[in-house]
Amino acid sequence: MGFCKDFAWGTATAAYQIEGAWNEDGKVPSVWDMFCHDGSHIKDGNTGDVACDHYHRYKEDVALMANFGLNSYRFSIAWSRILTFKSTEDGGFAFSENPKGIAFYDSLIDELRAHNITPYVTLYHWDLPYPICQKGGWLNKSCADWFEVYARTIAKHFGDRVKHFITFNEPSVFVGLGYKEGTHAPGYKFDTRDILFIGHHIQLAHGKAVRAIKSLVPDAKVGITFATQPVLPENESKEAIRAAYEAYFSCKKEDVVWSESFWCDPIVKGVYPESLLSECTEFADSIQKEDMELIKTKIDFIGLNIYLGRLMHPQKRLPGTPHTDVNWDVTPSALYWGTKFFYERYNLPIYITENGMACHDWVSLDGKVHDPNRIDYLHRYLLGLRNAAGEGIDIRGYFQWSLLDNFEWAEGYNPRFGMIYCDYATQKRIPKDSAYWYKTVIESNGENL
Ligand code: FCB
């Protein structure tokens, strides 16, 4: 048994990383616009102002997806294109809709459907509207209510054609890097106490959004995507596997933001990990029962972004260990262990919502982009995923990161993660060798691996 019959084969992107058009058609600035324009945070002073200019070239990009046989596409919507934000005296907002921003996603969704590509929409891929940040952003509990208004707007406009929704992309990463380490927007360095409340407000926003979407789109499938580095067992013995599982889902105060169970236990089980609550009593005492009810509103799937696994006992990397252009180790069994462990703990269908690698790609003398390392990386990782599916893990789809080379956050345009090469000077798209290879994998539903 391999991948299921209607397996979703796709690629993934995020609004800020590809769209450009940062101030067009009534879009308000997001925290990423502000962070990049400041000039000091991003490699080579790059910004997403233009990025891949997908806002104007989406038709060409959808046609490329169709050429390569993709049946699904995961993209995010920029909250800052959908609503406008007028401050009110009570510290909140009077929202109104931005018809031009909504029209852009209407056309993108129609274009996808015309090419038989199923849209998977992420509501929040890190680009918080700046007016919300000015009122405290995720530290402000009201942010959950504002997110609900946004989710409702998305469901109302697109729910007739979109049936798969992901509330948040990688809360651990945008909170860890944006609010704790300060290397991503909005660039804050908060302590653990604040991080816990920020996390809780995001959990609430998630719960409210799930309810809002389901009330307006009863046949919607709603989930959330986590970033995760599975702990790889030291060997295949029962004890080693158990030890890896325990380490994987452990949750300690000092690195709570990176803990899988901190983010996922509340959503699926309705509780924060016991070990955390006993360490953080102020936080534990402030959590209301109704909050937990809301947070555990039933979801339909879990999205996992997996690029690499980690060892039980991290050691110095051996010389010559294969790694990618962003220095991430190549660990092909990560998809196998990650899906297996998540399914064991949460028992929900799983999508791999991101996996892929940054390669040192360039255009060769023959005008093509040869990326044998990417083909080998994807091949190995997909074999691990197929093994997990073969063991009965309910895996529904795989989205390669990414459709196009794009703006890789603080790393700017240096890492190239795309299946399609982007020449940023001309915006010319050149499918890499791996795109042709991925097409054959999709055609055989992974049987040719
Ligand atoms: C993930 C992000 C995605 C992209 C990849 C490389 O953490 O979700 O936007 O940057 O990493």
How large is the C-alpha radius of gyration of the chain? 21
pLDDT the model gives residue 391: 97
Cβ 65 vs Cβ 116: under 8 Å: no
**Tens digit of pLDDT for each residue in 148-187?**
999 999 999 999 999 999 999 999 999 999 999 999 999 9
Instruction: Give residue 426's pLDDT band: very low, low, confident or very high (50, 70, 90).
Output: very high
β-strands 221-227, 164-169 pairing: parallel
- Decide: residue 223, CB within 10 A, 0-12 exposed, 13-18 middle, 19+ buried: buried
**Tens digit of pLDDT for each residue in 433-446?**
999 999 999 999 99
Query: Token match 């729910």: residue?
Result: 159
Minimal-distance CA residue to ligand 1 atom 10: 408
Q: Please give the Cα distance from 193 to 273 (Å, whole number).
A: 16
Which atom of ligand 1 lies at the shortest distance from residue 227's CA? 7
Cβ 176 vs Cβ 126: under 8 Å: no
Helix (H, G, I), strand (E, B) or coil at 75: strand
pLDDT the model gives residue 315: 83
Tell me, in angstroms, the distance from the centre of ligand 1 to residue 278's CA.
33
Q: Which of 124, 125, 328, 401 to mutate to test the pocket of ligand 1 (most atoms within 8 A of CB)?
A: 401
What residues line ligand 1, using a CB cutoff of 6 Å? 14, 17, 169-170, 173, 227, 305, 354, 401, 408-409, 417
Strand runs (DSSP E) across 281-366, as ranges?
A: 301-305, 310-311, 350-355
- Catalytic residue numbers read 170, 354
Mean predicted confidence (pLDDT) in 307-318: 91
Nearest to 211 by CA among 162, 154, 152, 269: 152
pLDDT at 370 over 90: yes
**Tens digit of pLDDT for each residue in 4-34?**
999 999 999 999 999 999 999 999 999 999 9
Tell me, in angstroms, the distance from the centre of ligand 1 to residue 401's CA.
8
pLDDT at 126 over 90: yes
pLDDT the model gives residue 2: 92
Q: Please give the Cα distance from 415 to 421 (Å, whole number).
A: 11
Residue 298 tokens read as: 């039933």
Tell me, in angstroms, the distance from the centre of ligand 1 to residue 17's CA.
9
pLDDT the model gives residue 314: 82
Residue 7 tokens read as: 């397996």
Strand runs (DSSP E) across 213-361, as ranges?
A: 221-227, 231-232, 301-305, 310-311, 350-355
Instruction: Give residue 386's pLDDT band: very low, low, confident or very high (50, 70, 90).
Output: very high
Q: Please give the Cα distance from 2 to 292 (Å, whole number).
A: 37
* Helix runs in 139-191, H state only: 143-158, 171-175
pLDDT the model gives residue 318: 87
pLDDT the model gives residue 420: 98
Share the mean pLDDT of the chain. Answer: 98
Residue 58 tokens read as: 């989406």
Tell me, in angstroms, the distance from the centre of ligand 1 to residue 174's CA.
10
Phi, psi of 58 (to 5 degrees): -60, -30
Check residue 200 and give left, alpha or beta (phi > 0: left; psi -120 to 50: alpha): alpha
Residue 271 CA from chain centroid, whole number: 23
pLDDT at 196 over 90: yes
pLDDT at 117 over 80: yes
In sequence order, what DSSP letters do the residues of 164-176 get, joined into one string? EEEEEE-HHHHHI
pLDDT the model gives residue 342: 99
Which atom of ligand 1 lies at the shortest distance from residue 415's CA? 6
**Tens digit of pLDDT for each residue in 320-358?**
999 999 999 999 999 999 999 999 999 999 999 999 999
pLDDT the model gives residue 316: 85
Mean predicted confidence (pLDDT) in 220-231: 98
Residue 380 tokens read as: 């190995």
Q: Which of 224, 354, 357, 399 to mutate to test the pocket of ligand 1 (most atoms within 8 A of CB)?
A: 354
Phi, psi of 298 (to 5 degrees): -60, 130
Neighbours of 103 (CB within 10 A): 13
Q: Please give the Cα distance from 348 to 339 (Å, whole number).
A: 10
Mean predicted confidence (pLDDT) in 406-415: 98
pLDDT > 90 in the chain, percent: 98
Tell me, in angstroms, the distance from the centre of ligand 1 to residue 353's CA.
10
- H or E segment and range at residue 199: helix 192-216
Neighbours of 441 (CB within 10 A): 22
Which atom of ligand 1 lies at the shortest distance from residue 225's CA? 8
Helix (H, G, I), strand (E, B) or coil at 253: helix
Q: Which of 258, 409, 411 to mutate to test the pocket of ligand 1 (most atoms within 8 A of CB)?
A: 409
- Range with the poorest average pLDDT among 221-225, 270-274, 312-316, 400-404: 312-316
Cα atoms in the Cβ-side hemisphere of radius 13 Å centred on 332: 16
Which atom of ligand 1 lies at the shortest distance from residue 170's CA? 8
Q: Please give the Cα distance from 331 to 338 (Å, whole number).
A: 11
Cα atoms in the Cβ-side hemisphere of radius 13 Å centred on 162: 33
Nearest to 214 by CA among 223, 201, 227, 225: 223
